[in-house]
Structure 1
C-alpha cells in the first residue's frame, strides 16, 4: 500500500526533524529510537528530555514537492505520515519556530498531499497550529496515539477540540480493551461537555470553546520487535465492531510480533488466561483449554488478516 514507506496506512513518510521523548506506555519499546541508535549520524543522541532534536537535510525537505507533482500528474491524492521519527507537536526547546513555519509552508505548498500529523501530545495542538488555521486545512489530518482506555479518556477530547478535515487515532501498540463509543461518529457524546443547537437544528456539543465532530478513522496494530507485547484478538474485534456500527473507517495495520493461534514448529507460545492476563510460557494443559493462545511468529509471518480478511478502510474509501 505504501509507495515510499513501509507503513501500511500511508504512501510516504516525511521527517522534518528527528528526536523525541517517551511520554507513555506505548513508547516503552520505541522503534524510532531503536532505529536511530543503530545508525546514528551524529555523536549526541536525539532522544530524551535533555537531547536536542536535529533538522533533516534540505534534500529531504524537497521530496514532498516531488510527491505532490506526482500525485497531481496521476490525478490522485497521496497520504504523507509526518513524522515517523519525531512528533510535530513536541514543544521541546530545541525546535525553533522557524522549523515549524517551514513545515506549515511546505504543507500549504503541496495541496495534492494529505498530511497525517500524528502526535502523542494532543494537548499541544492548539498552541502550535499555524495562523489562519480556522476550521482546519483541507489537506491536513490530525491524529493522536492511544494505547489504552486511560489514554483514550485523557487525550481524545483534546484531539477533538482542534478543528480538522479528518481526525484519527493510531492505536499501536494496542495494550488493552478500549471503548471509543463516546467519540466515534458524526455526533459523539462527551460526558460533561455543554450542548447547543446549531443553525440546522441539530444538537451539538462544545469542548474547549469549539464545535466538534467525532473521529473519522481508527488505525489498530500490535507491537513488533524485541520485547513486543501481545494484543488480544478480542480487543481488535471490539474496535472493528465499534467503528462499523458508527460508520467510521477502520484500518488494521498488523498483528505485530504475536499472532493468534498455535502454529507449532517450536515457536514461543503464550496465552491470555481467563482473567485476561498474559501468561508466558504457557502451561501445557492450558493449550487444550478454551484460552486465547498466541504464537510469536514475527511481524511478517503474523500478517494483518483479521478473521480471514484485511481491513484497509480510509475516510472516503470504505471497503
Structure 2
C-alpha cells in the first residue's frame, strides 16, 4: 500500500527521495523539514542531518504494486529536481512511472510532481531526445518490470510501442512506416505525469512558470502555497504565437507556449505561519474562472480553519485524461 496523504489534492505520497535545501521565501517554514526532524534516525532519515538530500532506492518500485488507480504526490518530503539528485536516479524514478503506464490501461496512477527548481526539470527533459529518454527509462526497468512472456524484456516492450503509430486497439490502422523509436507521442510526454511549480509571490511566479511551460508535460499546474502576496497569472490563456500577452508587457519570448492546466492555492501552516489575505486567493480564483482553468483552494492555514471560500469549496481538478 502507498502512504495515504492528508493533502487534499492527492491520494498517496511516494518519497524515493527525502531532504532539501531552501531556495526562496516560501521555504521559510517548510513542513517537510519539521517532519524530517521527527523522523531523524528512523525510516531512512539520517540521524545527524535528517533533512539532507537522501536517496531511497528501496522505495523506487512501490507504485508497481499498487493495484487501485490513484493520484500520487511524488516527493512530498523533498524536491525531485534538487541538484543533489543525480540524473541516473531520476531515470529510475521515471522508469517506474513509465512501467506503470505501459503495463496498465487508463485510468491509471497519476503522478503529481511539484518543484521549486524548474530549470533543472526543463534541462532534464529537453537536453535529450524523447527516444533517448524513453530508452534510458526502459533500461532501468530491464530486470525489474517483468513481462508476461519470459522471452521479452520490458525495454523490448517499450521499443515495440514506438515502432509504429499504433491505434488504441494495438493496430497499425494508419499504415505508418516502421521506424524504431520513431513514434514516441503515446509515451512522451508521459501521459500519467502532471508537472507543477510552487510559487509564493509574483517574483517566483515570473521566474518559475515560464520554465514549467517550456517543459514537455501532459498537464502543467502551479501550487501557490504559501500564498504570500497577490499574484497576477499571465499564463492561463494559450497565446496564438503572434500577439503579446494582453496582461503584461511580455511579448515574443513566451508567445505560443501552452497554458497552465490547474491552479492550487492555500495559506501557510505551522508555527509562526504568515497570514494570507482573502483577496489574494480570490484574485487567483477569479483569474482561473475567467480563463476556464480548474481552481483548487486548499485551506486557510493556521489562522482560520476550513476550506470554504465565499461560501463554497473549490476543489476543481484537470480531468484524468486531460491531455
TM-score (norm 1): 0.72
TM-superposed deviation, 1:36 = 0.7
Alignment partner of 1:303 out of 290, 298, 306:
306
Say if 2:100 is the partner of 1:104: no
Q: Distance in 2 between matches of 1:191 and 1:109?
A: 43
Structure 1 segments unaligned to the other structure (5+ residues) = 72-77, 196-204, 260-301
TM-superposed deviation, 1:155 = 1.4
1:185 is matched with which residue?
237
TM-superposed deviation, 1:39 = 2.0
Q: Which runs of 4+ in 1 moved over 6 A?
A: none
Say if 2:60 is the partner of 1:61: yes
1:221 is matched with which residue?
266
Say if 2:256 is the partner of 1:256: no
Is the partner of 1:239 in helix, strand or coil?
helix
1:126 is matched with which residue?
122
- Structure number with greater CO (CA < 8 Å, separation at least 6) is 2
Q: Distance in 2 between matches of 1:156 and 1:61?
A: 28
Is the partner of 2:4 in helix, strand or coil?
coil
TM-superposed deviation, 1:125 = 1.2
Structure (1 or 2) with the greater strand fraction? 1
Q: Distance in 2 between matches of 1:247 and 1:185?
A: 9
TM-superposed deviation, 1:192 = 3.9
Contact 1:20 1:46 in 2 (8 A): no
Say if 2:73 is the partner of 1:70: no
Q: Distance in 1 between matches of 2:60 and 2:94?
A: 12
For residues 139-159 of structure 1, give each alpha carbon's deviation from its aligned partner in whole angstroms, at most 9, with x where no partner exists.
Answer: 111100000011111211111
For residues 42-101 of structure 1, give each alpha carbon's deviation from its aligned partner in whole angstroms, at most 9, with x where no partner exists.
Answer: 322143xxx4x222262x33331122x222xxxxxx211111111111112xx3333212
1:285 is matched with which residue?
none
For residues 122-180 of structure 1, give each alpha carbon's deviation from its aligned partner in whole angstroms, at most 9, with x where no partner exists.
Answer: 11112223752676211111100000011111211111111211100000000001111
1:232-271 equivalences under 5 Å are 232-259=277-304
Contact 2:3 2:14 in 1 (8 A): no
Is the partner of 1:227 in helix, strand or coil?
coil
Structure 2 segments unaligned to the other structure (5+ residues) = 102-107, 134-183
Alignment partner of 1:172 out of 225, 229, 249:
225
Is the partner of 1:159 in helix, strand or coil?
helix
1:11 is matched with which residue?
11
Q: Distance in 2 between matches of 1:153 and 1:127?
A: 18
1:86 is matched with which residue?
78
Is the partner of 2:9 in helix, strand or coil?
coil
TM-superposed deviation, 1:253 = 0.6
Q: Distance in 1 between matches of 2:299 and 2:95?
A: 33
Instruction: Decide whether aligned partners of structure 1 residues 97 and 155 sit closer, same or farther in structure 2, where only a CA change above 3 A counts.
Output: closer
Q: Distance in 2 between matches of 1:36 and 1:253?
A: 23
Aligned residues: 246
Q: Distance in 2 between matches of 1:162 and 1:57?
A: 26
Contact 1:252 1:312 in 2 (8 A): yes
Instruction: Decide whether aligned partners of structure 1 residues 164 and 228 sit closer, same or farther in structure 2, where only a CA change above 3 A counts.
Output: same
Is the partner of 1:225 in helix, strand or coil?
coil
Say if 2:230 is the partner of 1:230: no
Contact 1:81 1:117 in 2 (8 A): yes
